[in-house]
Chain A
Amino acid sequence: MHLLETNKLTAFYGDFQALYGIDMLLDNGETIAIIGANGAGKSTFLKSVAGLIRGAADSVLLDGTPIGARPAADIVKLGIALVPEGRRLFPSLTVEENLLIGGYGRKAAGPWTLDRVYSLFPILRERRSSAPSTLSGGQQQMVAIGRALMSNPRVLLCDEISLGLAPIVIADIYAALPQIKVEGSSVVLVEQDIVKAMKVADRVYCFQEGRLSLAGPPRDLTREQIHRAYFGS
């Protein structure tokens, strides 16, 4: 049984169909990367898994249990947390309150506590009383990741965590991924930076116009295959 599985997952915005029958697998301890051009459906996929877009119950399975029709507030309690695109921190909450609200729905104790997040991102301890708007982009991304970790997720969904950040900051963010995996979270990354995605992922899924156009371990994929899957022939 897989940790997370999507089964012919579809998603709609009103009448507009954004995803067409996506099949994806994630096992314990894995990192998978989802790549694709803008509008390919990557973020929609993560929103569907996280419960923000609800579909058929058996279109998303967690440990074999259908969760596709469950609301987002339930999904996070079951162990799936999303780091949303653009960070979307709560502006009226301090850094520490943003982290604490991440643990609002958790039921059981786990490895991720405020102290553990601060040890992963020490700068946040110094800025704990600050408003999120006073933080740099990289620090805001650290808060967004820390906030998601506070729910002690088994699956961490990360939507474009490198977007708009300087390369040195991106390196810092990605340096945290191994520690996150050590604590028992499997990771799904949506990433525009193909090189970065290929480097950290156990498997890569490429989306094109809402459809899965390519899947496999990075070592098995050629540059031409990826180019074709990304941009179309």
Chain B
Amino acid sequence: MTDWLDALIQGVLLGGLYALFAAGLSLMFGVMRLVNLAHGDLIVLAAFAILTVASTFGLDPFAAVVLAIPILFVVGFVLQHVLLNRTLGRDLLPPLLVTFGLSIIIQNGLLQVFSADSQRLRAGAIETASIPLGGGIAVGVVPLLTLMSAIAVIVFLNFIFYRTPVGRAFRATSDDLEVAQLMGVDVNRIFAVAMGLAFVVIAIAALYLGLRANFDPTIGPARLLYAFEAVIIGGLGSFWGTLAGGIVLGVAQTIGARIDPEWQILAGHLAFLVVLAVRPRGLFPRAQD
């Protein structure tokens, strides 16, 4: 019984990481209807950016991410303004093709600069620290921080979306692009701000990716798959749904691994398929999507 409870708790904590992977994707789709096939690679790129900042300035990864966040916001803003805005329109194919190309470019660029060697963000004793819960169950500090950060990110994004003028502009643009322009919303700029914000979330996801596991330039597509599954399970356009989707995916994987270690990844995908079959619009879809 304790083993199952432990699997459940570890699954919830793992779900925090998947929710972080997915939150940026959910934001992009929620505002721009952009399906970003380079999302996983952008997380890996951000992890390398944090690694570079940390090693160059001799910083702790937590400090390095604070430095990297404004840089990545600007990178996201410029990427959207200069490139991705040109691909958006009635046809869904151009953004898919361009972000797929971006994915290839990022992977190969990282291989060129950093080689195929696995990397890891080093944070010292906190990496192995844990909190005993009793009954032989303990939670790692980093996994706990990951879940707390995911919740903080979701609260922050909900605050931006539902309590600020720019959030109203995000939702209005998502509802009706043409009428949003009649309200004075510069949609190209709003999309760029949304992408900048998504890159901030990507930076936080990258921090925990690098702290919890090794990463190399080619692991982006698998992270994209988990992010997609979390977004779809949770329901398109809902941030809390995305967190729920990440947790469902994480719990399914740890329960699967408890049954048989070979079933970990498969169990996550099966949970995704079950949700898709039972609730095709996800667990918490936004009303008008």
Q: Which residue of A lies closest to B166 (CB)?
A: A104
Which of A25-33, A84-92, A164-172 binds B?
Answer: A84-92
Contact A151 B184 (CB under 8 A): yes
Q: How far is A76 from B183 in the complex, measured between Cα atoms in Å?
A: 7
* Interface: B273 (CB within 8 A): no
* Interface: B181 (CB within 8 A): yes
A-side interface residues, number (CB < 8 Å): 26
Residues from 172 to 188 in B contacting A, C-beta threshold 8 Å:
172, 174-176, 178-187
In the bound complex, residues from chain B placing their C-beta under 8 Å from that of A151 are: 183-184
Contact of A93 among B172, B182, B185 (CB under 8 A): B172
Q: How far is A51 from B184 in the complex, measured between Cα atoms in Å?
A: 11
Contact B179 A84 (CB under 8 A): yes
B-contact bits for A79-114, CB 8 A (1 contact / 0 none):
001101000101111000100111011100000000
Q: How far is A82 from B184 in the complex, measured between Cα atoms in Å?
A: 11
Contact A82 B182 (CB under 8 A): yes
Contact B175 A92 (CB under 8 A): yes
In the bound complex, residues from chain A placing their C-beta under 8 Å from that of B187 are: 73
Contact B181 A77 (CB under 8 A): no
| Known A91-B287, A91-B288, A92-B286; contact A104-B175, beta-carbon cutoff 8 A | no
* Interface: B165 (CB within 8 A): yes
Contact B178 A52 (CB under 8 A): yes
B-side interface residues, number (CB < 8 Å): 21
**Shortest distance in angstroms between B200's beta carbon and chain A's nearest beta carbon?**
22
Total number of residue pairs linking A and B with CB closer than 8 Å: 72
Q: How far is A92 from B171 in the complex, measured between Cα atoms in Å?
A: 7
Contact A100 B184 (CB under 8 A): no
**Shortest distance in angstroms between A217's beta carbon and chain B's nearest beta carbon?**
30
* Interface: B168 (CB within 8 A): yes
Contact A77 B168 (CB under 8 A): no
Contact A90 B176 (CB under 8 A): yes
Contact A105 B183 (CB under 8 A): yes
Q: Which residue of B lies closest to A150 (CB)?
A: B183
Residues from 241 to 289 in B contacting A, C-beta threshold 8 Å:
286-288
| Known A92-B288, A101-B168; contact A72-B181, beta-carbon cutoff 8 A | yes
**Shortest distance in angstroms between A188's beta carbon and chain B's nearest beta carbon?**
14
Which residues of B approach A to under 8 Å, CB–CB?
165, 168-169, 171-172, 174-176, 178-187, 286-288
Apart from A104-B169, A151-B184, what 18 extra A-B contacts exist at CB < 8 Å? A50-B182, A51-B181, A73-B186, A82-B182, A84-B182, A88-B176, A90-B172, A90-B176, A92-B175, A93-B168, A97-B171, A101-B180, A101-B185, A104-B183, A104-B184, A104-B185, A148-B182, A151-B183
